[in-house]
Amino acid sequence: MNNLYILLMLMAGAGLAVQIVVNAQLRVVAASAFWAANIVFAVSLAAGLAVLAVAAVFARVPLPSPALWRAPWWVWLGGLAGAVYVLLAILLARRLGAALLSATGILGQLGASILIDHYGWFATPVHRVSAARAIGVVLLAIGVVLIRWR
């Protein structure tokens, strides 16, 4: 089953590469990175609501738990981080190109993920940094340099 999950995430990653260039073109057409970002968020909201509606038709979808409102403040940061990423990707896609933008974004994700796993931040299970994991980060950093070098 893990192989299926890996395949799904590979497909999602490929979709992000497409999203980068599509959103950059939306910026050109809209003549504004801020308008483009908000259009992207509006389409995302509409898609999310459509998925929720379909799920509600075919399965019981409970309302969010009241505990949501008592959750730690940082649970809301995912949306903020996503918004910053989308805006920066729209602003930088033409300057960096899709490959360098993706590679640097992935390097940032991996670096932060290694720290989060190692220290168990945000109530996650601890997965200590190993030599193999550290080498993976270094190799990805080398990949970013090679992509930048052209």
How many other CB atoms are there within 10 angstroms of residue 102's CB atom?
19
* pLDDT tens digit sequence for 95-137: 999 999 999 999 999 999 999 999 999 999 999 999 999 999 9
* pLDDT tens digit sequence for 13-22: 999 999 999 9
Q: What is the pLDDT of residue 60?
A: 84
* pLDDT tens digit sequence for 23-54: 999 999 999 999 999 999 999 999 999 999 99
CA atoms within 13 A on the CB side of 100: 12
Query: 29: helix, coil or strand?
Result: helix
Confidence of residue 150 (pLDDT cuts 50, 70, 90): confident
- Give one word for 130, left, alpha or beta, with left for phi > 0 and alpha for psi -120 to 50: beta
Which among 103, 104, 107, 101 has a CA at the least distance from the CA of 136?
A: 107
